[in-house]
Amino acid sequence: MRWLFDLITVLGFILTALGAYLTCNADTSVEVMKQTLLIAFVSLALFTTVGWYHYYYKSKILKSVLKGRDHINGTTNRLIELNHNPKIKVHVKHGIQDLSEICQEISAGLRKYHAPDISVCIHYVNKDENGYYVNVLCRNTESKQRQSKRAPFASNKDYINDNTDFKLLIPLLSAKHINKIYYLNNFLPFSPYYRNSHFSVEMQPRYYGTFGWIYRMIMWELPYKSTLVVPLVSVQDKKRQIEGFLSIDSPKLWSFSKSYDLPMVLHLAGMIAPLVSKYNQSNLLK
């Protein structure tokens, strides 16, 4: 409502200027008042336009979010059933198929007010002699299609230290509230310090060079420009441990909202984490 008070202030300024204009006889003062009135009317039109757009945009987003919640509510119920299924450790293929369908439902919920090709992916953490890396547990349909069209990667494994969206979450594990552990970037091509192991062999050195920001803006090769990543966290011996990541990407800039999307994605990640943890503990994914 702050814009409303600004509008009232502008109206008061216009009325004051109009009163001064009507009581003024000097030619110079009249000219000054005309210019002042012109500026005031332009300001009024600008504030009115911005205020209307703000109200319209917020209401449109809210309606779309409420529609998308139907898919998310169904996903939540399904995750509850999976978490209480005693056979979840045995039937790994069925479990992964269920999680793939959940990725699809999350994508459908977000598509209500985002780009039509939202990508949703669940990773789990693995380790070799070079360090920790992530493997794909499941994807939604859009992510699978996007992945099949990708160029060769600079690395054959997605090491956590080579990916900014994963690496920055590790130090945050000690945060008091788990809802503070996330990575949200709506302007990836304009982020000079963003690193990704999926940059092609040809472009990776250019992106990290002196003029890397120019190459990123003009020749950005990743199929997404916005991303929201939250960790799949389990608690073992009173310590938090990352079991994997829930990654959501969009080809549009400024796609994800901290107010609308983040709480929902954190809630879903909290329900997906126990499933991935069970798979990791049983070594069925190795």
Q: Name the pLDDT band for 36 (thresholds 50, 70, 90).
A: low
Q: Name the pLDDT band for 22 (thresholds 50, 70, 90).
A: low
Q: Name the pLDDT band for 245 (thresholds 50, 70, 90).
A: very high
Strands of the sheet containing 158-159, edge to edge, are: 158-159, 131-139, 119-128, 239-250, 226-236, 183-185
Q: Are 178 and 266 in contact (CB under 8 A)?
A: yes
Residue with tokens 């547990």: 137
**The pLDDT value given to residue 62:** 59
Supply the mean pLDDT for the chain: 77
CA distances to 67, 115, 154, 180 from 60, in Å: 11, 15, 41, 27
**The pLDDT value given to residue 5:** 57
The predicted-structure confidence for 202-236, as pLDDT tens digits, reads as follows 887 788 777 788 888 888 989 899 999 999 998 87
The predicted-structure confidence for 151-188, as pLDDT tens digits, reads as follows 555 557 899 999 999 999 999 888 878 888 999 999 99
Q: Which of 47-61, 182-196, 214-228 has the lowest mean pLDDT?
A: 47-61
**The pLDDT value given to residue 163:** 95
**The pLDDT value given to residue 247:** 95
- The Cβ of residue 109 has, within 10 Å, a number of other Cβ atoms equal to 25
pLDDT over 90 percentage in the chain: 21
Q: Which residue has the higher pLDDT, 66 or 190?
A: 190
The predicted-structure confidence for 96-143, as pLDDT tens digits, reads as follows 778 888 888 888 877 655 556 788 999 999 888 989 999 988 888 766
Nearest to 71 by CA among 121, 117, 112, 122: 112
Asked whether residue 91 carries a pLDDT value surpassing 90, the answer given is: no
